[in-house]
Amino acid sequence: MSSVFSPMAKALGVVCGLALLSGCGDKLSLENYSRIKVGQSYEEVRQIVGDPAHCDEVLGVRSCQWGNPGRGIRVNFAVDKVVLMSADNLK
């Protein structure tokens, strides 16, 4: 049975997989966390660290989590502006 994927597609898949495993392009970094500032908009933060894993909103405060509770970034927004942020186990 022949493969559906070309050799080039397979090579690209291997390269992408290795990049993910090595952490290249990891937006959850201490460097990116330090770029987040009080007063930035949700969109500005999203451009720095990508789409959040999840967000909750209570009484007009949006709390978003990037990564997971053991390793990630948490940011609270009020009126679409950063008011509080924290991070766990970033490199």
Break the chain into its structural domains and give their ranges.
Answer: 27-88
Q: Taking 70 as the threshold, does the pLDDT of residue 1 lie above it?
A: no
Q: Taking 90 as the threshold, does the pLDDT of residue 19 lie above it?
A: no
Return the DSSP state at 67. E
Residue with tokens 């950063």: 82
Length of the chain, in residues: 91
Which pLDDT belongs to residue 8?
56
CATH topology for 27-88 is Beta-lactamase Inhibitory Protein; Chain:B, domain 1 (3.30.1450)
Q: Rounded to two decimals, what is the model's pTM?
A: 0.71
| Contact present, 36 and 48 (Cβ < 8 Å) | yes
